[in-house]
Structure 1
C-alpha cells in the first residue's frame, strides 16, 4: 500500500497553498461580511487552472483526476471555505456535461468554464424536496423542438451569478419505475422566464452564492437535454459519488485550517504565566483534532482514488468519507473556538468563521443521515 502522493501532486499542493495563503486569507473576512462573490479571485484562480480543475484538457481544463482535485479542495478550504468554495465551485455541475453531454455541449459549455468566463450550477433541490431527489416536481415538457421548463429550485450554488445550470426535471411522469421519469436539461440564465433570488443571511460560506431559481415557461432547445431522456436520476447518483468525495475533501480542509489556527493560538496565548498549549487539557484537544483530521484525509483520499479507478465500493466509500470528514470538520471547528475561548466568539480571529462554515458539509450533497442510510444499504446489498 502506497500512501505517498506523487511529486506532481505535491507540486499542485504547494502552488495552491501559496495562492490560498497570499490571495485568499488576507481578504476572506471581507467577503464573508459582505456576502459577495469574489470575482477578482475567480479570475486569478482561472489563470492557475483552478476553475477548470476537473475539466478535460481537450476542453481547456486542467484535466486533474479526483485525487488531484481533493488535494486542491483541501488547501483552498484550509485558507477559507467560503472564498475557496466560490472559486472552485464555478464549474459545479460540469461533471454531468463531461460524463453525459454531447460533443457539441462539451465544446460549447466547458471551455468558458475552464477559463473563468462563465459560471454554472447544478439545480436539484426544491423548496419541498431536499434529500428525496426522486420527488422533484420541476417539469420539462416537450413542445416541438423545445423543452418548456416550469418549477422552483432552492439552495442552488451560484444561483444568482450563474450563466447556465444543469437542471433536474421530471420529463416522463408516467414512466415505469420510480427513477425513470427524470432528465437533466441545460438552462441558460438569460432566457425569458428565468429568475434568480439571492439568499442572504446564511450561517456560513457567505462568499459562495446561493439562490432560489424560478422557471416560468422557460424554453430551451431540444439539444440542451443532457444524455438520454429519462436517465437524469441515475446520472445524478453517479454525480453524487464524485461530489460527495469533494465535500469530504472540503471537510478535511476545514478541519486542517481550523486545527492549524488552534495550534498557533495555543502557542501564543498565555494564561497562568505560560502558553495554554502547555496545559494537558489543550494538548489532548490538539492531539484529537490532528489525529481525526489525518484519519478523515486518508478516508477521503481512498474515496478519490476509487473515483479515478471506478472501484466497486465507490458509493459506500464516498458516503463514508463525506459523513466522517464532515463530522470531523464540525467537531474540530468547535474545539478551535473552545481553545480560543472568548476570542473565538468574535470575528477578530478566524475560529468563528470556520465554525460557521463547517456545518454546511453535513447538509449539502446529502445530509449525514442520508449518508448513513446509503452506507447501510450498500453493506446490506439492498440497492436503491
Structure 2
C-alpha cells in the first residue's frame, strides 16, 4: 500500500538534504544570531549555495520549481534549528507569490530571476494603524506620466534592509466606493529614489531577522512595476496569504519539533531521585502531548499547502486552520519544553527559551490567530 497516504520519495530526500545542511551550516550559529540580534549571514550563504533559499521559484525563471509542500519542508527544517533563518525562504515566498499570482510576464522576468540567484524579497502590507484592518492603509501611489510616485510608511517589514525587492500595497483610488477596491500592488527596488528603511525593531524573538519600517518619500518607480490591474492589490494580497499562511505553520512546526527533540534528549540525561526524569510518568505524559500536537500540526500544514497549490476552494479555511493550530502548538510545546528543563530552561545556556520567544510571533504575523478564527468562521458560515 505504498503511497496510500505519505509524502513522495522526493520530499523525503529533500528533508534529508536540508536537515544535513541545517545541522552543519545553520544550527551552530543559531544561539549567537539570537544573542547578537544579527542577520544570519551564514544561513543565507548556505541556503543560496544549495538553492534552498527560494525553492518555490519556477524553473522558467531559474528557480527550483518546487511545490508548496517542499517549500514547507525547507522552512520547517530550518526553523527546527533557527527560526530567524527560516524567514529567509519563508519571506522570499511571501514577497514573490503576489507576482506569481498577478504580475505581468515582463515584471516576473524582471524580478524573479534575481531572487532565484540569491536576492531577497519582502512583503509590505501592514502599517502602524493598519494591521488587521488592512483596508485603512494610508500609503498612497499616484500615476505621474510613465511613473508611479509612492508616499507613506509601512511597518513590521520582515528582512527589510536585507531585501532587494519589496512588494508594496498602496492606495491608488482614495475615493473608491469600497476602500479595499482602491488598493494596488507594486514592486519597489531598494535603490529606487525616495525609498529608505528605518531602524531595527527591538523584539522578543526572531532577533536575527530584522524587522523595520520602510519609508516612501516621493518614491518614484516605473509605471510597469504595478502588479496586476489598479485596484486589485488587496485581492492579490489576500490570495497570497492562502499560499503563505501554511509556511508560517511550517515555521511553527519546525520550532516545536526542535523544542521537542531538545526536551527528549534532556529528560533522558537529567537525573533526580536516583533516576532519569524521563522515567516519571507525569513528564512522559507531557512529552506524549507535545509529540501528538506536533504531528497533527505537521499534517495540517502539508494538507493546507497542497490545497493552496491545487487551487482547492477550501484552501482559505485550511490555510488559516494550519497557521493557527501550528502556531498555538508551537507556543504550547515550547512553553512545556522550558518547564521540562526546569531552572535550566529559563537560562540562555539551553535553546528552549529562545524557541519559546521565537514561537510567539507565529501567533501574530500573517494575520493574528484571532483574525484567523474570524476567517475560518466566515468560511464555515458561508457553507
Give your verdict on TM over 0.5: yes
CA contact (8 A) 2:124 2:169 kept: yes
Moved segments of 4+, more than 6 Å: none
Taking the aligned partners of 2:95 and 2:241, their CA distance within structure 1 comes to 10
Compute the TM-score of the two structures, normalised by the length of structure 2: 0.97
CA contact (8 A) 2:86 2:251 kept: no
Secondary structure of the residue aligned to 2:179 is coil
Q: Cα RMSD over matched residues?
A: 1.3
CA contact (8 A) 1:91 1:119 kept: no
CA contact (8 A) 1:81 1:205 kept: yes
CA contact (8 A) 1:187 1:220 kept: yes
Taking the aligned partners of 1:200 and 1:270, their CA distance within structure 2 comes to 41
Q: What are the residue-to-residue correspondences of 1:235-274 with 2, within 5 Å?
A: 235-274=236-275
Alignment of 1:9 onto 2:11 = yes
| Deviation, structure 1 residue 73 | 1.4
Alignment of 1:98 onto 2:100 = yes
Taking the aligned partners of 2:45 and 2:89, their CA distance within structure 1 comes to 9
Unaligned runs of 5+ in 1: none
| Deviation, structure 1 residue 92 | 3.7
1:296 counterpart residue number: 297
Taking the aligned partners of 1:299 and 1:274, their CA distance within structure 2 comes to 37
Alignment of 1:363 onto 2:360 = no
Alignment of 1:207 onto 2:208 = yes
Deviation per residue, 1:310-357 (Å, 9 max, x gap): 111100011111111100000000000000011111111101000000
Taking the aligned partners of 1:45 and 1:88, their CA distance within structure 2 comes to 12
Alignment of 1:112 onto 2:114 = yes
Compute the TM-score of the two structures, normalised by the length of structure 1: 0.96
Taking the aligned partners of 1:353 and 1:180, their CA distance within structure 2 comes to 41
1:283 counterpart residue number: 284
Taking the aligned partners of 2:90 and 2:322, their CA distance within structure 1 comes to 20
CA contact (8 A) 1:24 1:84 kept: no
Deviation per residue, 1:90-123 (Å, 9 max, x gap): 454111112211122111211111111x222010
2:332 counterpart residue number: 331
Secondary structure of the residue aligned to 1:358 is helix
Taking the aligned partners of 1:323 and 1:52, their CA distance within structure 2 comes to 24
CA contact (8 A) 1:31 1:83 kept: no
CA contact (8 A) 1:47 1:115 kept: no
Shift in alpha-carbon separation, 1:300–1:88, aligned structure 2, 3 A: closer
Unaligned runs of 5+ in 2: none
State the aligned residue count: 381
Alignment of 1:30 onto 2:32 = yes
Alignment of 1:18 onto 2:20 = yes
1:44 counterpart residue number: 46
CA contact (8 A) 1:171 1:230 kept: yes
| Deviation, structure 1 residue 88 | 4.5
CA contact (8 A) 2:139 2:171 kept: yes
| Deviation, structure 1 residue 39 | 2.5
1:77 counterpart residue number: 79
Secondary structure of the residue aligned to 2:4 is coil
Secondary structure of the residue aligned to 2:209 is coil
Secondary structure of the residue aligned to 1:93 is helix
